[in-house]
Structure 1
Amino acid sequence: MGAIELRAVEKWFDELQVIKGIDLDIKDGEFIIFVGPSGCGKSTLLRMIGGLEETSRGAIVLDGTDVTDQPPSKRGLSMVFQSYALYPHMSVRDNMGFSLKTAGAPKAEIAEKVNEAARVLKLEPLLDRRPKDMSGGQRQRVAIGRSIVRAPTAFLFDEPLSNLDAALRVEMRLEIARLHQSLKTTMIYVTHDQVEAMTLADRIVVLDAGRIAQVGTPRDLYNHPADLFVAQFIGSPKMNVLPCGAADGAFMLQGGRGSAFDMARGAPAHLGIRPEHIVLGAAGSGNCDGTVEVVEYLGADSYVFVNCGPLGVVNVRVSGAEEHAVGQDVGLSFPPERLHFFGADGKAV
C-alpha cells in the first residue's frame, strides 16, 4: 500500500512561509507529478513527505498512519535525487545492494533482489561495472535500482532527469513509465519540465508560490485550466493570451472581431487560445489580422509569429508543409470551441 494524505501542511523557514496549507490525497499506485516554476516549493514539499524536511504545521499520513514526526528511515519511502550519489569504488551490484547489506539482510536475499531490479531496469550486463564506466542514463538507472531493492511503499523522485541531455531524458522517461507499469507502486515526481509532467503523470499538481493552483489529469489541465497561471504553464508552446472584453452578447478584441459570448458566465478580460488551435487564412478573414514577423521551421511543424498590433504577437502552430513568408499579411481565426476566457483576477470564466 502507498496511499499518502497531506492535511493542511505548512513549511516555515523562520518568518518565511514556503508551503502554504496544502491538502492532497494520493492514491495507492498513483503516479503524481509536482510541477511549477523554480521556487514554487515542489522540492520542499517532496522532502517533507520523505521526512528530510520538518513539517511546521499539518499532518502527513501514510496508509492511515500519521508519520509527520517520524524519521525518513521509519516511513518506508525511497528517494531518487537529481545527483546519482553512487559510490565510485563500488560495482553496480554493490551499489544497488548496499542499503540491504547495511540493514543486515542475508547475502542470498540481497543477490535475489539486486538481480530482479537489474532485470527490470535492463542492467544485467552492467552489474560488475563501476559508475565511471557508465553513461549518465545508466547511472540514473542504477540509482533507481538502488531504490527498487528496498521495496518501498512509494518512490520519491526529485528532478531525476535534469542532468541528462535531451535524448537521454526521452529514453529515461520511457524507462520510468515502464517501471511504474511494472511495479504499480506509488510514485511522486518533481520536475519543472511540463513535458515530463504531461507524458508521465496520472495526475499533475501545479504549484504556484507554495500553494496548489490546480490538480488534475494532464488532459484536464490542458483543456480546462483553472486560471491564467496554469493555462500558460501547461502546454508547449504556451497558450496565447489576448486582452478582450464583452458587450451586447459578444466578446470583443481590440482591433479585431469578436463573436457570441454568454455574459452569464462572467466578464472576460483575457482570451486564451493555444497555438495549434489557430487557423491562418487571408487577411480580412477570421477574428483578427496581422503580419508575419518570424517563422520557425521545425520539420513536422512550424511556429509562425504574427504581429497583431494592439493584441501583441501571436504564436501559431501550423504544419511544416505550409509555407509562410515574413512580411505576409494574414488573418487569424479562433474556433469558438477552442477558446478560454479569464476574468480580471486571472481565474477562468
Structure 2
Amino acid sequence: MGGISLRGVEKWYGDVQVIKGIDLEIADGELVVFVGPSGCGKSTLLRMIGGLEDISRGALEIDGVDMTSEPPSKRGLAMVFQSYALYPHMSVAENMGFSLKTAGVPAIEIEKQVVEAAEILHLTEYLHRRPKDLSGGQRQRVAIGRSIVRDPTAFLFDEPLSNLDAALRVGMRLEIARLHQKLDATMIYVTHDQVEAMTLADRIVVLDYGQIAQVGTPKELYEQPQTRFVAEFIGSPKMNILPCSVTGGQYHLRWGRGGKTTGHDGATHLGVRPEHITVVSSGGGQCDGRVSVVEYLGADCFLYVDAGRLGQITVRTSGDSPISAGAQISLKFDAAKLSFFGADGNAV
C-alpha cells in the first residue's frame, strides 16, 4: 500500500511562505507528476513528503498513518535524485545493494533482490561494472534500482532525467513508464518538462507560486484548463490567448472578427490551441495575418503569424503545407475547441 495524503501543508522560511496550504490525495499505485515553472515549489513539496524538509503546518499521512514529524527512515519512501550519487569504487551490484547491507540484510537475500531489480531494469549484464563504465541512462537506472531493492511504500523522483541528453531522456521516460506498470507502485515525479508530465502521469498537479493551480489527468488539463496559467503552461506550443468580449451567444475578437459560442458571457480572453486553427481563404476566418516564421518538423509545420494588434498566433499545420514565410493568410478557429477566461484569469 502507498496512499499519501497532504492536508493543509505549508512551508515557511522565516517570514517567507513557499508552500501555501496544499491539500492532495494520492491513491495507492498512482503516478502523480508535480509540474510548474522554476521556483513554484514542486521540489520543496516533494522533499517535504520525503522528510528532507520539515512541514511548517499541516499534516502528512502515508497509508493512513500520520508521518508529519517522522524522519525519512521511518516513512518507507525511496527517493531518486537528479544526481545519480553512485559510489565510484563500487560495482553496480554493490551500489544497488548497499542500503540493504547497511541495514543488516543477509548477503544471499541482498543478491536475490539485486538480481530481480537488475532484470526489471535490464542491468543484468552490467552488475560487475563500475559507474564510470556506464552511460548516463544506465547510471540513472542503477540509481532507480537502488530504490527498488528497498521495496518502498512509494517512489519519489526529483527531476531524474535533467542531466541526460534528449535521446536518453526519451528512452528513460519509457523505462519509467514501464517500471510503473510492472511494479504497480505509487510514484511522485517532479519535473519542469511538461512533455514528461503529459506522457508519464496518471494525474498532473500544476503548481503556481506554492499553490495548486489545477489537478487532473493530462487530457483534462489540456482540454479543460481552469486558468490561463494552466492553459499556457500545458501544451507545446502553448495555447494562443487573445483579447475578446462575449455577449448574446457571440464572441468578438478585440481586433478581429468573431463567431458563435454557448455561454461564456463576461469573458475577456479567448484561448485556442495551434492545432484548432485552420488556414482559409482571405477574410474567411476570425482574423488575418502575415506568416513571419515557418518551423518544419517533419510531420508538422508550425506557422508563427503576425496578426497585428492581436499579436503573434501559432498555427499547427501538416508537414506538407505549401505556406511559406511572408504569406498573407486568414485563420479560422474551431468553435467547439475554444476556451474562455475572465479578467481574473479563471475559466468562464
Structure 2 CA distance for aligned equivalents of residues 247 and 288 of structure 1:
19
Structure 1 CA distance for aligned equivalents of residues 149 and 233 of structure 2:
36
Alpha-carbon offset, residue 248 of structure 1: 4.2
Alpha-carbon offset, residue 328 of structure 1: 1.1
Alpha-carbon offset, residue 250 of structure 1: 1.2
Kept in 2, the 8 Å contact 1:159–1:190? The answer is yes
SS state of the match for residue 8, structure 1?
strand
Alpha-carbon offset, residue 314 of structure 1: 0.4
SS state of the match for residue 220, structure 1?
helix
Q: Residue 165 of structure 1 aligns to which amino acid in structure 2?
A: D
Kept in 2, the 8 Å contact 1:266–1:343? The answer is no
Deviation digits for residues 270-295 of structure 1 (CA, Å, limit 9, x no counterpart): 11001111001222111111111111
Unaligned runs of 5+ in 1: none
Tell which deviates more after alignment, 280-289 or 46-55: 280-289
Q: Residue 29 of structure 2 aligns to which amino acid in structure 1?
A: G
Look up the match of 2:342. 343
Kept in 1, the 8 Å contact 2:248–2:265? The answer is no
SS state of the match for residue 347, structure 1?
coil
Look up the match of 1:14. 14
Structure 1 CA distance for aligned equivalents of residues 24 and 178 of structure 2:
25
TM-score, with length taken from structure 1: 0.99
SS state of the match for residue 259, structure 1?
strand
Whether 1:287 aligns to 2:286 is yes
SS state of the match for residue 323, structure 1?
coil
Look up the match of 2:92. 92
Tell which deviates more after alignment, 273-282 or 78-87: 273-282
Kept in 2, the 8 Å contact 1:31–1:187? The answer is yes
Deviation digits for residues 11-39 of structure 1 (CA, Å, limit 9, x no counterpart): 00011100000000000000000000000
Kept in 2, the 8 Å contact 1:40–1:209? The answer is yes
Deviation digits for residues 97-137 of structure 1 (CA, Å, limit 9, x no counterpart): 00000000000100000000000000000000000000000
Kept in 1, the 8 Å contact 2:246–2:265? The answer is no
SS state of the match for residue 85, structure 1?
coil
Aligned residues: 348
Look up the match of 1:43. 43
SS state of the match for residue 260, structure 2?
coil
TM-score, with length taken from structure 2: 0.99
Kept in 1, the 8 Å contact 2:247–2:265? The answer is no
Alpha-carbon offset, residue 325 of structure 1: 1.9
Kept in 1, the 8 Å contact 2:288–2:331? The answer is yes
The correspondence of residues 127-276 of structure 1 with structure 2, limited to 5 A, is: 127-263=127-263, 265-276=264-275
Look up the match of 1:108. 108
Tell which deviates more after alignment, 157-166 or 246-255: 246-255
Alpha-carbon offset, residue 310 of structure 1: 1.3
SS state of the match for residue 119, structure 2?
helix
Tell which deviates more after alignment, 249-258 or 54-63: 249-258
SS state of the match for residue 303, structure 2?
strand
Look up the match of 2:309. 310
Deviation digits for residues 202-242 of structure 1 (CA, Å, limit 9, x no counterpart): 00000000000000000000000000000000011100001
SS state of the match for residue 258, structure 2?
coil
Structure 2 CA distance for aligned equivalents of residues 262 and 188 of structure 1:
38
RMSD of aligned residue pairs (Cα, Å): 0.8
Deviation digits for residues 279-325 of structure 1 (CA, Å, limit 9, x no counterpart): 01222111111111111111111110111111111000100111212
SS state of the match for residue 288, structure 2?
strand
Q: Residue 251 of structure 1 aligns to which amino acid in structure 2?
A: Y
Q: Residue 172 of structure 1 aligns to which amino acid in structure 2?
A: M
Structure 2 CA distance for aligned equivalents of residues 249 and 186 of structure 1:
45
Structure 2 CA distance for aligned equivalents of residues 201 and 325 of structure 1:
37
Look up the match of 2:62. 62
Look up the match of 2:83. 83
Structure 1 CA distance for aligned equivalents of residues 294 and 322 of structure 2:
9
Q: Residue 292 of structure 2 aligns to which amino acid in structure 1?
A: E
Structure 2 CA distance for aligned equivalents of residues 247 and 80 of structure 1:
52
Look up the match of 2:3. 3
Structure 1 CA distance for aligned equivalents of residues 142 and 188 of structure 2:
19
Kept in 1, the 8 Å contact 2:33–2:204? The answer is yes
SS state of the match for residue 317, structure 1?
strand
Unaligned runs of 5+ in 2: none
Structure 1 CA distance for aligned equivalents of residues 160 and 248 of structure 2:
52
Structure 1 CA distance for aligned equivalents of residues 4 and 304 of structure 2:
44
Structure 2 CA distance for aligned equivalents of residues 100 and 160 of structure 1:
22
Look up the match of 2:73. 73
Q: Percent identity?
A: 68
Q: Residue 296 of structure 1 aligns to which amino acid in structure 2?
A: E
